[in-house]
């Protein structure tokens, strides 16, 4: 009986959370004029599935998706490499100025892209990198968060394991490749997913680093597609749905890892 009560509560909350999603689908597939004439019902009217094809073709979404995918891949791979290397150095090697360098790198958390935007855009412009893949990805090729997170993982490796590897004649690179990374695969996997997610969803930087429509990432393209006249609004909404599908697929497959990454730092572990 108490269970039934909870099912009612949980279902009610689910309906509220999903309501915007449902209304978005309804709007996308409904003919805009008929929909407004009928006073915006809860269900679709004058359904037209072709809107997805229109959105894909009109907004040049294919190209935008492709650019976003490439930029996401560049950023994710680069952050993985730069973070793992730096994290390893901070966790296992001794060298002068180590603590100073660590503090300086972590302190870049205080300099998010919102703060550095105007200056970085200037730099990118001077390099001639506006409207280019390198311009879209350059500021995100390393991350203080990644270094910090992966260093924590490396520090968690028991010292017996390190000593055993050393006795086996493992050099630093061998230890990194055969022990440190494999042992921390879950953590690194979560980090990769979170990085990819935020690279794909990035808005402010690509908005500023792109001046020609053909270099727009998918998130920025959504703005141009959706700011059309009301009678074409269904197309913009359909575009937003298409743009979410890759991330949705990622979430379905890697739900556990993504959630672990999102909650890293919130609770110990």
- Scan residues 10-39 and list those touching another protein (CB under 8 A): 10-11, 13-14, 17-18, 20-21, 23-24, 27, 32, 36
Binding mask 91-110 for another protein (x = CB under 8 A): --xxxx-x--x--xxx-xxx
Query: Which letter does DSSP use for residue 178 in this model?
Result: I
Dist CA 66 CA 79 (whole Å): 20
> What residues numbered 173-212 form the site for another protein, per CB under 8 A?
197, 200-201, 203-204, 207-208
Give the residue, chosen from 86, 180, 181, 235, that forms a contact with another protein under the rule CB under 8 A: 86
Instruction: Name the β-bridge partners of 47.
Output: 30
Q: Name the CA dihedral angle for 73, 75, 77, 79, rounded to a multiple of 10 degrees.
A: -160
> What residues numbered 231-250 form the site for another protein, per CB under 8 A?
233, 236-237, 239-240, 243-244, 247-248, 250
**Given its phi and psi angles, is residue 172 left (phi above 0), alpha (psi -120 to 50 degrees) or beta?**
alpha
**Helix 185-201 and helix 144-155, axial crossing angle in degrees, nearest 10:** 170
> What residues numbered 110-139 form the site for another protein, per CB under 8 A?
110-112, 114-123, 138-139
Q: Which helix (H) or strand (E) holds 257?
A: helix 233-263
- When the beta carbons of 42 and 49 are compared against another protein, the nearer one is 42
Give the residue, chosen from 132, 134, 152, 228, that forms a contact with another protein under the rule CB under 8 A: 152
133, 63 Cβ separation under 8 angstroms: no
Give the residue, chosen from 34, 38, 40, 211, that forms a contact with another protein under the rule CB under 8 A: 40
């Amino acid at each position: 009986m108490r269970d039934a009560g909870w099912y009612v509560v949980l279902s009610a909350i689910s309906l509220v959370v999903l309501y915007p999603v449902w209304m978005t689908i309804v709007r996308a597939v409904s003919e805009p004029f008929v929909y407004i004439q009928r006073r915006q019902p809860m269900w679709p009217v004058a359904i037209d599935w072709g809107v997805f094809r229109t959105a894909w073709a009109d907004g040049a979404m294919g190209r935008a998706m492709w650019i976003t995918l490439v930029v996401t891949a560049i950023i994710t791979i680069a952050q993985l490499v730069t973070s793992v290397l730096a994290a390893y150095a901070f966790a296992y090697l001794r060298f002068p100025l180590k603590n100073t360098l660590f503090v300086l790198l972590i302190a870049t958390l205080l300099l998010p892209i919102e703060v550095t935007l105007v200056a970085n855009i200037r730099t990118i412009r001077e390099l001639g990198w506006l409207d280019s893949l390198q311009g879209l990805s350059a500021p995100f090729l390393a991350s203080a968060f990644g270094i910090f997170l992966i260093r924590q993982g490396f520090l968690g490796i028991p010292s017996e394991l390190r000593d055993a590897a050393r006795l086996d004649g493992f050099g630093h690179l061998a230890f990194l490749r055969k022990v440190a990374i494999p042992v921390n695969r879950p953590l690194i996997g979560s980090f990769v997913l979170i990085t990819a997610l935020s690279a794909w969803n990035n808005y402010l930087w690509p908005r500023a680093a792109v001046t020609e429509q053909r270099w727009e990432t998918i998130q920025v393209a959504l703005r141009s597609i959706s700011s059309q006249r009301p009678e074409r609004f269904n197309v913009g909404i359909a575009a937003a749905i298409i743009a979410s599908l890759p991330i949705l697929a990622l979430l379905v497959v890697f739900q556990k890892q993504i959630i672990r990454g999102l909650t890293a730092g919130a609770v110990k572990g």
